[in-house]
C-alpha cells in the first residue's frame, strides 16, 4: 500500500518546553487540515523537565503520524531543526517553536495560498501573547510579493511555510555555528531564492508566546552574539545580491534591527570597556556595508547614530543617544523654499563635530510631518512618473505550482 506524501511536515524543536509544549501540541492536533496531510517531527534537545515524555504521549494518541527524536542537548535551535528537516517528507515544512502555537486554520490556509500561487514561502499573520510581534508586513493579504517590494525583510524568524523542494535543491540548513540570528540567515536566503512569497494577513496563523520563566532564546545571549548575527546576514546579502539599490534596501534590516539597538539607551549604561568593544565590533561592518544608499533609507536619528558609529565618535554619540532617550522632538530648519528639512539633533552644523548636513536631512516620509515642507520638483516628478509606469505595466500572468525558483 502506497502512503500519500503529506502536505506539511511540522518540525518542532523542543528544549525545556514544559508546560508551554502542551498547548503547542494541542494546536497541531486542532488543525483543520486533515490529519493524513500532516506529519509531525519533534526533536527533544536534551530536556530534563518532561518534554520528551510529553512528546511521546502525544505521538501515541495523535491522529497524524508523529516521529519523536530524543538527543543530547545541542546548545541551540539550529541542530534540532536540521535534524527534523532531514527526516521531513512533506511538500512543505513549517518550523513550530515548542512554546508557541498555531491558529486552527493556519496550515490549511498557508498550504492553499502556496498551492494557489505557486509560491515557495508563505507568511501567516503573527499575534504576540505577552510579547510583541511583527506587524508592518501584515497590512494586507498578498498572493505574491518579494523581499524588495514589501516589509517581509523585517520578519526573519523561521516560523514560515517553506516549500521543501526549494530547501533541498539549495541544500539549505540552519547555521549551527550561530547562537542567535540563525533563523534570519535561513529565512533571508529562502526569500532571495524563492519563486515568490505569499502573505496571509486576514487570519492569525501563529501565536508568539512570551515565556515568564526567562528561558526564551531571543532574550538570552551577549551583545557579541548580536554582532556575529549581523556579520553573517550582511555577508549573505553581499554574496547573493549585487551592490546597488536592491542590496541597500535589504542591508537596512541588519543595521536597523541588530546593530543600531547596541547604540541606543543601553549604550549609556554600558561600561567604557563595553562601549569600546562594541565600536570595535561594529567598525568592520560599517567599513564594508555602510553607505549613503543605506543611510537615506533611515530616519535622521537612526542615520546620525550609525554615522557616528562609522566615524568611531563615542563622545558625540552619547549626546545623540541621550537626546533620543529623552524623547525630545528635534527642531526643524526648512531651506530651499521648504523643499529641504533638516532636523536639529545634537551637533548639527557644529564646526567641532564636522558632521555633513546630509546626515540631518529628512527624507520625504519624515519631512512631511513638518508644516511648510513641500516636495521638491524632481522628487515629485519622479514619483508621478513611477506611478504612471506601474499603471501601464501588464498584470503578471498566473504562476503554476512548482515553477522554477530564482537562483
The 8-class DSSP code of residue 331 comes to E
Q: What does the alpha-carbon distance between residue 243 and residue 290 come to, in Å, rounded to a whole number? A: 12
Residues 6+ apart with CB under 8 A from 14: 21, 42, 43, 44, 45, 47, 51, 55, 80, 98
Q: Is 183 a catalytic residue?
A: yes
Phi/psi of residue 13, nearest 5 degrees: -95, 125
Q: What does the alpha-carbon distance between residue 39 and residue 28 come to, in Å, rounded to a whole number? A: 10
| DSSP assignments along 53-118, one per residue | HHHHHHHHH-SS-EEEEEE---SSSHHHHHHHHHH--SSEEEEEETT-EE-TTHHHHHHHHHHHHT
The 8-class DSSP code of residue 16 comes to S
Is the Cα torsion angle 111, 113, 118, 124 positive or negative in sign?
negative
| 393 burial type by CB count under 10 A (0-12 exposed, 13-18 middle, 19+ buried) | exposed
Question: What is the Cα Rg of the chain in Å?
Answer: 23
Q: Which of 183, 195, 228, 248 is catalytic?
A: 183
Q: State how far the alpha carbon of 238 is from the alpha carbons of 87, 241, 316, 402, in Å.
A: 31, 6, 30, 28
Which residues carry out catalysis?
183
Amino acid at each position: 500500500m502506497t502512503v500519500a506524501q503529506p502536505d506539511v511536515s511540522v518540525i518542532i524543536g523542543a528544549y525545556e518546553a514544559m508546560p508551554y509544549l502542551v498547548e503547542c501540541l494541542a494546536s497541531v492536533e486542532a488543525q483543520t487540515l486533515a490529519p493524513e496531510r500532516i506529519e509531525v517531527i519533534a526533536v527533544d534537545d536534551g530536556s530534563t523537565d518532561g518534554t520528551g515524555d510529553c512528546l511521546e504521549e502525544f505521538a501515541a494518541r495523535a491522529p497524524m503520524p508523529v516521529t519523536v527524536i530524543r538527543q543530547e542537548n545541542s546548545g541551540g535551535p539550529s541542530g534540532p531543526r536540521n535534524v527534523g528537516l532531514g527526516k521531513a517528507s512533506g511538500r512543505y515544512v513549517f518550523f513550530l517553536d515548542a512554546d508557541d502555537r498555531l491558529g486552527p486554520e493556519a496550515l490549511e490556509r498557508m498550504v492553499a495560498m502556496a498551492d494557489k500561487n505557486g509560491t515557495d514561502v508563505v507568511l501567516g499573520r503573527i499575534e504576540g501573547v505577552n510579547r510583541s510581534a511583527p506587524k508592518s508586513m501584515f497590512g494586507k493579504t498578498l498572493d505574491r510579493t518579494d523581499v524588495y517590494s514589501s516589509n517581509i525583510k523585517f520578519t526573519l524568524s523561521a516560523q514560515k511555510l517553506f516549500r521543501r523542494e526549494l530547501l533541498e535543491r539549495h541544500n539549505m540548513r540552519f547555521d549551527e555555528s550561530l547562537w542567535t540570528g540563525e533563523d534570519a540567515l535561513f529565512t533571508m536566503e529562502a526569500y532571495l531564492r524563492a519563486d515568490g512569497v505569499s502573505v496571509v494577513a486576514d487570519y492569525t496563523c501563529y501565536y508568539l508566546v512570551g515565556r515568564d520563566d526567562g528561558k526564551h532564546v531571543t532574550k538570552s545571549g551577549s551583545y557579541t552574539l548580536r554582532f556575529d548575527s549581523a556579520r553573517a546576514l550582511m555577508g549573505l546579502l553581499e554574496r547573493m545580491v549585487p551592490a546597488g539599490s536592491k542590496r541597500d534596501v535589504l542591508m537596512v534590516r541588519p543595521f536597523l534591527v541588530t546593530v543600531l539597538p547596541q547604540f541606543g539607551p543601553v549604550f549609556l549604561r554600558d561600561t567604557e570597556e563595553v562601549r569600546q568593544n562594541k565600536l570595535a565590533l561594529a567598525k568592520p561592518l560599517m567599513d564594508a556595508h555602510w553607505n549613503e544608499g543605506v543611510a537615506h533609507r533611515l530616519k535622521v536619528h537612526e542615520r546620525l547614530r550609525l554615522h557616528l558609529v562609522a566615524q568611531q565618535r563615542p563622545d558625540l554619540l552619547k549626546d545623540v543617544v541621550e537626546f533620543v532617550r529623552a524623547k525630545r522632538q528635534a527642531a526643524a530648519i526648512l531651506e530651499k523654499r521648504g523643499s529641504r528639512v533638516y532636523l536639529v539633533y545634537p551637533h548639527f552644523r557644529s564646526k567641532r563635530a564636522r558632521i555633513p548636513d546630509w546626515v540631518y536631512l529628512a527624507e520625504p516620509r519624515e519631512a512631511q510631518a513638518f508644516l511648510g515642507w513641500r516636495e521638491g520638483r524632481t522628487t515629485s516628478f519622479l514619483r508621478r512618473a513611477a506611478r504612471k509606469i506601474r499603471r501601464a505595466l501588464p498584470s503578471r500572468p498566473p504562476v503554476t505550482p512548482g515553477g522554477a525558483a530564482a537562483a
